[in-house]
Structure 1
Amino acid sequence: MSGRRTSPAPAPVRVRGPRLSGVDAARGIALLGMMATHILPLSQALPGGGAGPTWTALLFSGRASALFAVLAGVGLALLTGGARPYPPEHLRRSRRGIAVRALLVAAIGLAAGSLDAGVAVILVHYGVLFLLALPFLGLPVRRLAWWAGGWLLLSPVALFLLLPLARAWVDPSDVGGSPAFTDLANPATVLADLFVTGYYPVVAWLGFLLVGLAVGRSNLSRPPVALALLAGGTAVAAAARWASAELVALPGADAALRAATGLRAGPLEAALATGRGLDGAQGSWWWFALASPHTGSPLDLIHTAGTALAVLGGCLLVAAALEATLGQLGEALLWPLAGAGAATLTLYVGHLVALDLLSGLTAELPRLAVYLGFVVAALLAGIVLKWSGVRGPLEAAVHAASRAAAGGSIRERT
């Protein structure tokens, strides 16, 4: 019989703490913003002729989905310890749980891709981004910040070089931005859509997740951190937009962009605001001057990452102020938005199903009325979920599966 003592296996980490209501509120804004871009028009006819961007395009186009992705990174950081990352053994188990979470989210996305909702579904890309983020979970905040900044600046160069190769290899229209289970019969097309040609090219969008990971490794409960996010994000977003405006105003830029896109001056201005109709610009070096939504250019990624940080910082400050001044009443005032934000997977998929099933009933209704109906439904669902203290159905299923895979080491403060 050996005299050596054996150490018991480490107990699963079971961290139970209050949710950061400011993070959930920011998720709620991202959800409502994405609903707006799915339901409301992004361009409108101008009185003097031509087309211009709507308020939906100016507020949410490109920004809502980027906020969604940045907050995904924040969520991964909080799932793995937040400002105090898990030790290596617990982090390994958390990675297993996150990998299962990623696969389930991607599977839900493939199912949603078969819906006739007229929407570029982000969930499969989201799942792939989760998997690609796994190697970065153990990095300290400074290294994460360097990786995030470098990715936002350099990944567009890779995207610029890969786009013509991918389009020569496959026909992106075969997927149309929303991969479904039936598309898996053409894996090359699906991979091209996910990584390069789709609305949310993973090659570039991993930068958003890395930004969120770096932010989530900070102490988000401290008001100075929230204020830095608000001020810094606003400054970065404004600087990127200013730089783009200056570059596009240079001699030759307008003519080159019109030649690349085939658009006249008026439609080009609308396209620069909405991001639609700019596919041709991706073959021109002037593409690097753009900050238009979903172009994937450096200034687009920097601008939308900045707006995401500003929204998150603002939500954290508002939540802290409400809870500090009004206590439980202040927290309750955030229930509609934060409750919806805590159930974004369920509500995102739910609104896709509703867009598919109710398309005939809502076709004759004003788009704004339809959107407001979805907003009211989401906020009421948020109140019910907060009041009852339960997760959304899809969140509960994904959480249970990922927690089982991780051996109970999934953090509950997300």
Structure 2
Amino acid sequence: MPTSARLDGLDFARFIAFVGMVLVNFTVAMGAEGQGSFLATTFVGTLEGRAAATFVVLAGIGLGLAANKAANKHDFNDHLIWLTSKRALFLLALGLLNSLIFDADILHYYALYFFFGVFFIRMSSAGLIFSIVALLVGFVIMLLTLDYDVGWDWKTYTYKNFWTLEGFVCNLFFNGWHPVVPWLAFFLFGILLSRLSLNQIQTQLQLFIFGLIALLTVEGLSLLTLALLAGAEQDLLDIATTEPLPPMPYYMIAGMASACMVLAFSLWVSSKAIGLSKTAGLRLCNNIGRQTLTLYVAHILLGMGTLEALGLLDGQNASGTTDDAIIASGVFLIATTLYIWAYSKFFTRGPIENLMRLITR
């Protein structure tokens, strides 16, 4: 598979993750979790925490591929570190602005993933695996020794001390929505995956099978462990969960496994004879995948802003269900598709992607 096809596959994977993210975030914003038909709640429930994890893995793959491409340049380390650091600062600023209106912003966490992750790009694969395990184990130790609930109002899912130095650092590294420990492990896992022969069908098949087996295994182990720990303290029960809060090892492994499956499927689709470049529908999905930074902001400002104007957000006396959230997500995604179809006739990258490149080049 040529390099362009591989990149097309990554864009398609970002598209899949974006759809999942919209479904989950709209459901949470409407306070519709667990409300609605069994099929709808189960479907969205399986996506919770997995779409965001896939995005972070893909970000790590992107940086790893960039490092591999530039490996022969003498100044590549300094240049890549400087460029990535500038883009991390851009994401941090954008994320903090976004946090003013959306508590579950991921962009300011992304900034730290890139800032720390760039120093791992030349590490050996064994070193990356060790670092991933250390992050997972480190978080378990932190959970058992620190107060994970500090700062949280779990009834409203708001973090009271976010804008204080102590609260911000604690949220960013330990008990936020996507804390650096252990979420940086997703990014490092992406760097590790970027070293595989992703253009080979055999590798794609192995990735999908590995992801499926790992996902089923960890979900089964989680159920077994929870059964064995029945009646135990909540901290011990948390260790066995595959829920994203708190992000315990079972959840992290499940997130990596899901990302492998999405990646393998996307790369396989892009390698077919029809090709993404020859299929209008897949090309459109590709273009959506290239603008996920812009669309992430849009789904908050425009998507959730519209829901708020219609009185459909949680806390507005709305009684939405997961089914309603899926419908709202579908409407937003249709609007997104129309926008991308028109915008892509004139521009390759999204407005915010272009702004980031302009400021940080």
- TM-score interval (norm. to shorter): 0.7 to 0.9
In the alignment, residue 239 of structure 2 is paired with which amino acid? F
Deviations, residues 143-177 of structure 1 (Å, cap 9, x unaligned): 334433x245423323324542x65xx52459x87
On the 8 A contact 1:43/1:57 being kept in 2, the answer is no
On the 8 A contact 1:37/1:57 being kept in 2, the answer is yes
Shift of 1:198: 1.0
- SS of 2:113's partner is helix
Q: Distance in 1 between matches of 2:226 and 2:74?
A: 48
Match of 2:46 among 59, 65, 80: 59
Which residue is 1:23 aligned to?
10
Q: Distance in 2 between matches of 1:297 and 1:96?
A: 32
Cα 1:29–1:152, aligned 2, differ >3 Å: closer, same or farther? farther
Percent identity for Structure 1 against Structure 2: 26
Shift of 1:19: 6.5
Unaligned runs of 5+ in 2: 313-317
Match of 2:142 among 152, 155, 159: 159
Match of 2:326 among 368, 374, 381: 368
Which residue is 1:171 aligned to?
151
The equivalences for 1:196-345 within 5 A come to 196-250=174-228, 253-256=229-232, 260=233, 281=234, 284-321=235-272, 324-325=273-274, 328-330=277-279, 332-345=280-293
Which residue is 1:98 aligned to?
84
Q: Distance in 2 between matches of 1:205 and 1:368?
A: 27
Q: Distance in 2 between matches of 1:19 and 1:144?
A: 23
Q: Distance in 2 between matches of 1:389 and 1:35?
A: 24
Shift of 1:362: 5.9
Shift of 1:105: 0.7
In the alignment, residue 128 of structure 1 is paired with which amino acid? L
Shift of 1:86: 4.9
Q: Distance in 2 between matches of 1:60 and 1:354?
A: 22
On the 8 A contact 2:8/2:276 being kept in 1, the answer is no
Q: Distance in 2 between matches of 1:244 and 1:300?
A: 9
In the alignment, residue 352 of structure 2 is paired with which amino acid? L
Q: Distance in 1 between matches of 2:338 and 2:298?
A: 14
State TM-score, norm by structure 2: 0.85
The equivalences for 1:13-52 within 5 A come to 20-40=7-27, 41-44=32-35
Cα 1:328–1:290, aligned 2, differ >3 Å: closer, same or farther? closer
On the 8 A contact 1:159/1:204 being kept in 2, the answer is no
Greater CA deviation, 346-355 or 375-384? 375-384
Structure of greater Rg: 1
Q: Distance in 2 between matches of 1:297 and 1:140?
A: 25
On the 8 A contact 1:67/1:308 being kept in 2, the answer is yes
Which residue is 1:350 aligned to?
298
On the 8 A contact 1:152/1:298 being kept in 2, the answer is no
Deviations, residues 108-150 of structure 1 (Å, cap 9, x unaligned): 11111112x5x511111111111111210122444334433x2
Q: Distance in 1 between matches of 2:107 and 2:266?
A: 24
Shift of 1:301: 0.6
Shift of 1:231: 1.3
- SS of 1:388's partner is coil
In the alignment, residue 159 of structure 1 is paired with which amino acid? M
Deviations, residues 238-276 of structure 1 (Å, cap 9, x unaligned): 1111111111122xx2322xxx5xxxxxxxxxxxxxxxx
In the alignment, residue 106 of structure 2 is paired with which amino acid? I
On the 8 A contact 2:152/2:158 being kept in 1, the answer is no
Cα 1:80–1:381, aligned 2, differ >3 Å: closer, same or farther? farther
In the alignment, residue 83 of structure 2 is paired with which amino acid? G
Q: Distance in 1 between matches of 2:326 and 2:241?
A: 29
On the 8 A contact 2:50/2:258 being kept in 1, the answer is yes
Cα 1:306–1:385, aligned 2, differ >3 Å: closer, same or farther? farther
Q: Distance in 1 between matches of 2:75 and 2:289?
A: 31
Q: Distance in 1 between matches of 2:241 and 2:267?
A: 30
Q: Distance in 2 between matches of 1:144 and 1:78?
A: 15
Shift of 1:77: 1.1
On the 8 A contact 2:204/2:267 being kept in 1, the answer is yes
Cα 1:315–1:159, aligned 2, differ >3 Å: closer, same or farther? farther
Match of 2:59 among 72, 90, 94: 72
Shift of 1:183: 5.1
Cα 1:187–1:335, aligned 2, differ >3 Å: closer, same or farther? same
On the 8 A contact 2:60/2:187 being kept in 1, the answer is yes
Shift of 1:53: 7.9
On the 8 A contact 2:5/2:271 being kept in 1, the answer is no
On the 8 A contact 1:287/1:297 being kept in 2, the answer is yes
Q: Distance in 1 between matches of 2:210 and 2:343?
A: 33
Shift of 1:179: 8.4
Deviations, residues 307-363 of structure 1 (Å, cap 9, x unaligned): 111111111111111xx2457423x33122221111111000011101453212262
Q: Distance in 2 between matches of 1:38 and 1:134?
A: 29
Q: Distance in 1 between matches of 2:33 and 2:283?
A: 29
On the 8 A contact 1:21/1:334 being kept in 2, the answer is no
Q: Distance in 2 between matches of 1:25 and 1:216?
A: 16
